[in-house]
Structure 1
Amino acid sequence: MPLPPLRQELSLHPGPVDPYGAPTWTLHDPAANRFYQLSWPAFEILSRWHRGDAAQVLAAVNAETTLQVGADDLEDLYRLLAGHHLLVGHDAAYTGRLAESAAAQRMSKTMWLLKHYLFFRVPLLRPMPLLKRLAPRLEWAFTPACWYALAAIAVFGLYLASRRWDEFTHTFSAYAGPEGLLGIGIALSFAKVLHEFGHALTAYRCGCRVPTMGVAFLVMWPVLYTDTNEAWKLRRRGERLRIGAAGMLSELALAALATLAWSFLPDGPLRSAAFLLATSTWLLTLAINASPFMRFDGYFLLSDWLEMPNLHERAFALARWRLREALFGLGEAPPESFTPGRQRFLLAFAFATWLYRLVLFFGIALMVYHLFFKALGLLLMVIELGWFIVLPIWRELRVWWSRRAALRWHRQTLRTAAVLALLALLVLVPWQGTVRAPAVLTAVRNQSLYAAQAGRIVGDAAREGQRVRAGERLATLVSPELEFRLRMAQAQEQALRWQVEQQPFATELQEAGDVLRRRWAGAREAVHGLIAQRRQLEVRAPFDGTVVETNAFLAPGAWLARGEKLFQIVGAEGGLKVEAFVGERDHALLDRSQGGRFIADLPEAGTLRCSRAEPDEVNMTVLPQPYLASSHGGRLPVVRNDRQELVPLQTTFRVRLTQCGHAAVAGELPGVAILVRERHSLAQSAWTALLDLLQRERGL
């Protein structure tokens, strides 16, 4: 078998020792700026590749070294070289393969747009001339004394900030508006530029060439990058670790200096900038860059520390193999051989990375959806979910299907089949026949009394536990504002009445005609309305009952706001009722004849059975029970409108459960109501929810 020659521009460099102590070498392709790690046998074969004949190369390796290599070793290396186009085309077949590869890499306009929407790079700077000028002037930044000094500055700055901790933490509130967001953006941009120059300068000091620096767009989100691929030429792991950590260390040094500067700078833009650099930079650095689950600095640090290039791909391949063996027991060999401890770590790392990316990509898809108008946002969200989540799962399912001929019935396949059958029953069988709804238990005759106007308490008020009769006065409020408006209205009414009485005798008043009488009538109505409002300040019992709750501030001379709750009155007769709140889908399928059960949040209250359920036919616009609102720690998501009313975020219906007995209840008792509805499966519920979502997002 004749061997095609290698490309002339390729270079070979000594590499680090592998985890088992064997030497390695690094093959560099400068055209693609890619690096390939070669094992000792691969290096010996490649060193004799110039002989041009496979048999001669193998014979030379076996004769001149202690290795014993075979045709399989040479074939694996040939596939690597040919697959990455590292050979010179020597015949028509090889040229045809190159043409096929080039054709396969050509993309349609739609695919090009899709891939460049998800990720693309824009080189902005060729930094080597700048690095040559900066490196001699920044020698001090790479000395141990510099970093000892920065550690001392960080400790001292934190000590000074801790003495003014309340002032330091409350500075966050000053950056809630557009100007604050702009300041955060400028501070982060400066920190990220310093981050990238930290990588570049460290790589340059280690003898690596830095060809480009620029900005990459990940789902249209800009991220600065520095090309430090030549770090793979370095033999010592410590140098690669320093290059990987240089960016984060630069930002942490900047945060330490900014923390100290914040304590000495006067209030103004400089102090605000120091605060932003002291807080946002290191938080985002540790939260994002230090994560090994994405290809950021943390990933490369972990890869170099473990001495495992392509850590993600190798861990994912091992996890896919382990998953197939657990599900189907194919009996295949693992893609690589590792020690048991290293294998367990890689499996845990792979599954953790998959889970992290699932949450991250789903969150990015939701963010993209909300950033654009509905049609475009929905399309981009589908692209995100399809490319990052659905497509990898689909590829793995295709691999499973391709291995179907190798499946046999044994313990793994029986277990998998049983789990799948159980999941199918759980999802498809309509076993759910109840609804858990937030609810409140109260007496049938139960009413809350509120202050109709802002005012001051005059005289004594009813006490908690006091029995009252219908119409009995519970409290009296006086509103100076209302009294002033009433006096003004009465004065205006008297003036208009005098003008009407004098109209027959005054020519100027006669010209007003009937308009004057209508104005007088309007003034009288205003006076009557204000008098009615003043009567409402006398809070009276609506029925016979007991005061079960009073406002803690009910005392003579106390001022109360409008709408503030004063009393809770429970009637002496009438029994109990439960008010539950359900969504639109559950409301249409409720079984009204079955009633329901109420389970109180207080364990000692127990369970109450109600015989009848009466759902309202019209959904609520305002939630009358603040106990159940999310803003008060309840289960129903609500927002406040302009009138400070609690408005449900979803379509909500009230269901009244009656015939619940006559137990004594003081006030209102929150809990959960178990209601009966038509049985349904999880798949049916998911499909209905999806249709509702699509219909709602289409604006129908």
Structure 2
Amino acid sequence: MARLPQLRQELTLTPGAATPDGAPTWMLHDPAANRFFQLGWPAFELLSRWPLDDPLAIVEAVNRETTLTVTPDDLDALVRMLRQQSLLVAATAADTARLEHHKAAQRTSRAMWLLKHYLMIRVPLWHPMPFLRAAARHVAFAYRPASWLIVAAVAMTGLVLVSRRWDEFVHTFHGYADWRGLIGVGIALGFAKVLHEFGHAFTAQRHGCRVPTMGVALLVMLPVLYTDTTEAWKVAARKDRLWIGAAGMLSEIALAAFATLAWSLLPDGPLRGGAFLLATTTWIATLAINASPFMRFDGYFLLSDWLDMPNLHDRAFALGRWWLREWLFGFGDPQPEPCSASRRRFLIAFSFATWLYRLVVFLSIALVVYHAFFKLLGMLLFCVEFGWFIVRPIWRETQATWQRRDELRWCRETRRSALLGAAAVAFFVVPWHAGVSAPAVLAPQRAQGLYTVAAGYLADQPPPARDGQRVRAGDTLAVLASPDLEARLAAATASEALLHWEVDQQSFDERLQQQGTALARRWDATRQTVAGIQAEIAQLTIRAPFDGTVQTGDDPPAPGTWLPRGERVYDLIAPGGVKGDAYVGEDDVARLKAGQSAVFVASLPELAARDCRIDAIDKVNVATLDAPSVASTYGGPIPAEPNAKTRQLVPLQATWQVRFGGCDGEAGIGREVNGTVQLGAGRQSFVGEGLRFVAAVLQREVGF
């Protein structure tokens, strides 16, 4: 090149932090875009001689005046970088055309812009530098060591006092389990985040950085505060950059320390409740969100400064992609950047951990978006979130590998990848997966609970039946004595005897003759009353309806025990035979049919598995669960809730009842047993199962 292009006059060049191997660096700042570029020693020496305006003279001056050896190619590469980043003055028509082409390439529709940025949209609200300069002297105390010694003492004191009243502290949360508590948590978090952002801003201003804006960022439409501290990169000392990055979290921790002590000292009331919210929500939010290095929050910048690696994510991702391509295909590409073996291993592991973390986060956000809106919009946003942030990166990496397919050759890596790919296809695509696992209840073929029909105490003669006693149909198991029924029977018997005498004397007594047939009808009614009471008393005798074994439960009633009406006294189990009920979801019921195998595995380890067969499958899904033990209300696996009117358990998802029996040898069991049954079903692949699940969700949510 004959002459060098001119640099933009507003660019600034300041010393930067040394690289891990000790080489000096410089930071080139573009104030228009508020971007920073880290330059090495050769680039700095070339830029410092730019006014020579002669490429050959600049190269010769660098080689003559320093220990470096540079070539015109190095200068050409620097010029290309400056031109690509729009750091040169646009002096020709070609430069203008290039800028217009770059602008056109960056221009997108509003829908595409929203698609790319709706996860995080920044809205600058304030230029805080005049306020920060004016208020700096008022917050200078926070940067003295004595202040943090006081914070540490306050934190220790507060924790000691809270530990002595830990139960009271924990149960304070129950007073905020309503909408007022949510408002309180929002106010506490808002106050803590304002303090957090001002911690960053004042610390950055103290170390000579300009804070151009503070404002609100919409994180998946949830407003959060932000502070632009990009100029922290121009701070040469790593320790100072670490203080800038940690200032927000340290501010919240200090606030939590004082709030914890305040909770211990304040009386019950709104102030104490506010102290509790500040003491709990601040440090939890700090650890859960800000301290994470996997997203671009404070933890990321702290780790980046600690490792002295700007653009940590991009550099780690480049190493991760390089390692993955080499491990899978053995392309033989050079390492993206030179670094030690230990740092390379750390960055590769960090990249995979970040990808896994983001996969979980983006899936969670997609589910939140899906449930936060009405059906159609929620499903559309879920697809956008899942496709853009999860499927799109995988697809782009697959495309990049496919474009290099001509470079593939058989080697150890490609053979290993082919074997792993074939195994994955066999596992997910080949229909080898068979059987349906479902919660089930195994019970005796014939069993009946025996209840009291009226309140009374248990008589000692005859002796009540014992647990495990074998009885025959009609045997007396227990007799209840009811003083109320006996008193009613005595009164009714006396009344019946009197009316009987009056009926016999009616033909001889003129007064009785005046009552006519009414007297006989009253006598008949009284006799029926006596017979009814006698029948009720007869029902107080509990008899075995069939041959079987008596079960009395863990606490059998003793003679003389008062039993209320409707009390379950015994369970009678007939010998031999079992029956089972399994509860299957709508995705699997179509694969089942009568006659298929069923293997029941009890939840009790001492019981062996039972080989059975499917007897019948209900044609419609169950409206209520007859076995409460399988409902989530009682710790079971099927989501259910009680009906507000009938209190019966209603399943929250479509569930079919599958009945099975014919279990090996018809050996009976003494009571109901919960467990899991493996039902024989047609073979299918995991891919097919997943596609059917997606189709069912689409059909249900869209309402086709």
| Matched AA of 2:595 | S
| Matched AA of 2:588 | D
C-alpha change, 1:532 and 1:141, in structure 2 (3 Å) is: farther
| 1:666 matched residue in structure 2 | 670
Query: After the TM superposition, which residues 503-514 of structure 1 pair with which residues of structure 2 at under 5 Å, given as runs?
Result: none
| 2:34 matched residue in structure 1 | 33
| 2:693 matched residue in structure 1 | 689
| 2:525 matched residue in structure 1 | none
Shift of 1:196: 0.4
Q: Deviations over 1:76-113 (max 9, x none)?
A: 32232112110111322222111101111111122133
| 1:677 matched residue in structure 2 | 681
C-alpha change, 1:607 and 1:240, in structure 2 (3 Å) is: same
| C-alpha contact (below 8 Å) 2:586/2:654 kept by paired residues | yes
Cα separation, 2, equivalents of 1:647 and 1:312: 49
| C-alpha contact (below 8 Å) 2:593/2:617 kept by paired residues | no
- Secondary structure of the residue that 1:122 maps to in structure 2? strand
The alignment's C-alpha RMSD in Å is 2.9
Q: Deviations over 1:323-377 (max 9, x none)?
A: 1111110000011111000001001110000000000110011111111111111
Shift of 1:536: 9.7
Cα separation, 1, equivalents of 2:304 and 2:542: 74
| C-alpha contact (below 8 Å) 1:591/1:678 kept by paired residues | no
| C-alpha contact (below 8 Å) 2:26/2:38 kept by paired residues | yes
Shift of 1:315: 0.2
| 1:437 matched residue in structure 2 | 438
Cα separation, 1, equivalents of 2:287 and 2:404: 42
Q: Deviations over 1:562-616 (max 9, x none)?
A: 8x866543213x4122222222232222142233222223333222222453222
C-alpha change, 1:199 and 1:477, in structure 2 (3 Å) is: farther
| C-alpha contact (below 8 Å) 1:474/1:541 kept by paired residues | no
| Matched AA of 1:668 | E
| 1:512 matched residue in structure 2 | none
Shift of 1:649: 2.6
C-alpha change, 1:592 and 1:532, in structure 2 (3 Å) is: farther
C-alpha change, 1:551 and 1:649, in structure 2 (3 Å) is: farther
Are 1:227 and 2:231 counterparts?
no
**Larger deviation: 304-313 or 592-601?**
592-601
C-alpha change, 1:90 and 1:602, in structure 2 (3 Å) is: same
Are 1:571 and 2:574 counterparts?
yes
| 1:657 matched residue in structure 2 | 660
| Matched AA of 1:679 | R
| Matched AA of 1:368 | V
Cα separation, 2, equivalents of 1:116 and 1:633: 42
| 2:299 matched residue in structure 1 | 298
Cα separation, 2, equivalents of 1:536 and 1:193: 75
| 2:642 matched residue in structure 1 | 640
Q: Any unmatched runs of 5+ in structure 1?
A: 481-528
Shift of 1:143: 0.8
| C-alpha contact (below 8 Å) 1:458/1:478 kept by paired residues | no
C-alpha change, 1:421 and 1:698, in structure 2 (3 Å) is: same
C-alpha change, 1:473 and 1:336, in structure 2 (3 Å) is: same
| C-alpha contact (below 8 Å) 1:45/1:74 kept by paired residues | yes
| 2:157 matched residue in structure 1 | 156
| 2:393 matched residue in structure 1 | 392
| 1:614 matched residue in structure 2 | 616
- Secondary structure of the residue that 1:436 maps to in structure 2? strand
Cα separation, 2, equivalents of 1:614 and 1:174: 51
C-alpha change, 1:676 and 1:139, in structure 2 (3 Å) is: same
| 1:64 matched residue in structure 2 | 65
| 2:598 matched residue in structure 1 | 596
| C-alpha contact (below 8 Å) 1:209/1:230 kept by paired residues | yes
Cα separation, 2, equivalents of 1:637 and 1:73: 67
| C-alpha contact (below 8 Å) 1:457/1:554 kept by paired residues | no
Q: Deviations over 1:451-501 (max 9, x none)?
A: 899x88766876532445557566869999xxxxxxxxxxxxxxxxxxxxx
| C-alpha contact (below 8 Å) 2:452/2:563 kept by paired residues | no
Shift of 1:9: 0.2
C-alpha change, 1:476 and 1:623, in structure 2 (3 Å) is: farther
Give the share of equivalent positions with the same residue, in percent: 56
| C-alpha contact (below 8 Å) 1:443/1:577 kept by paired residues | yes
Query: After the TM superposition, which residues 343-354 of structure 1 pair with which residues of structure 2 at under 5 Å, given as runs?
Result: 343-354=344-355
Cα separation, 2, equivalents of 1:102 and 1:531: 100
| C-alpha contact (below 8 Å) 2:129/2:212 kept by paired residues | yes
Cα separation, 1, equivalents of 2:429 and 2:413: 24
- Secondary structure of the residue that 2:385 maps to in structure 1? helix
Q: Deviations over 1:112-143 (max 9, x none)?
A: 33234232111122111221222111221111
| C-alpha contact (below 8 Å) 1:26/1:35 kept by paired residues | yes
Cα separation, 1, equivalents of 2:436 and 2:167: 47
Q: Deviations over 1:421-462 (max 9, x none)?
A: 221122222112222222222210124567899x88766876
C-alpha change, 1:630 and 1:87, in structure 2 (3 Å) is: same
Shift of 1:313: 0.5
- Secondary structure of the residue that 1:28 maps to in structure 2? strand
| Matched AA of 1:674 | Q
| Matched AA of 1:332 | D
Cα separation, 1, equivalents of 2:51 and 2:584: 79
| 2:519 matched residue in structure 1 | none
**Larger deviation: 45-54 or 35-44?**
45-54
C-alpha change, 1:552 and 1:86, in structure 2 (3 Å) is: farther
**Larger deviation: 596-605 or 117-126?**
596-605
Shift of 1:537: 9.5
Q: Any unmatched runs of 5+ in structure 2?
A: 485-531
| 2:281 matched residue in structure 1 | 280
Tell me which of 691, 699, 702 is aligned to 1:698.
702
- Secondary structure of the residue that 2:588 maps to in structure 1? helix
| 2:509 matched residue in structure 1 | none
Shift of 1:539: 7.3
Cα separation, 2, equivalents of 1:195 and 1:8: 36
- Secondary structure of the residue that 1:432 maps to in structure 2? coil
- Secondary structure of the residue that 1:598 maps to in structure 2? strand
Cα separation, 1, equivalents of 2:535 and 2:73: 101
C-alpha change, 1:429 and 1:253, in structure 2 (3 Å) is: same
C-alpha change, 1:129 and 1:600, in structure 2 (3 Å) is: same
Shift of 1:554: 5.0
Are 1:128 and 2:129 counterparts?
yes
| Matched AA of 1:337 | P
Shift of 1:390: 1.4
- Secondary structure of the residue that 1:596 maps to in structure 2? strand
| C-alpha contact (below 8 Å) 1:577/1:656 kept by paired residues | yes
Number of residue pairs the alignment of both structures matches: 650
Q: Deviations over 1:658-694 (max 9, x none)?
A: 2212324221222222221111111211111111111
Cα separation, 2, equivalents of 1:534 and 1:107: 88
Cα separation, 1, equivalents of 2:535 and 2:440: 35
C-alpha change, 1:321 and 1:177, in structure 2 (3 Å) is: same
**Larger deviation: 627-636 or 667-676?**
627-636
Query: After the TM superposition, which residues 135-154 of structure 1 pair with which residues of structure 2 at under 5 Å, given as runs?
Result: 135-154=136-155
- Secondary structure of the residue that 2:292 maps to in structure 1? coil
**Larger deviation: 426-435 or 33-42?**
426-435
Cα separation, 1, equivalents of 2:171 and 2:54: 75
- Secondary structure of the residue that 2:620 maps to in structure 1? coil
| C-alpha contact (below 8 Å) 2:4/2:55 kept by paired residues | yes
Cα separation, 2, equivalents of 1:595 and 1:232: 68
**Larger deviation: 264-273 or 588-597?**
588-597
| 1:550 matched residue in structure 2 | 553
| Matched AA of 1:577 | K
- Secondary structure of the residue that 1:674 maps to in structure 2? strand
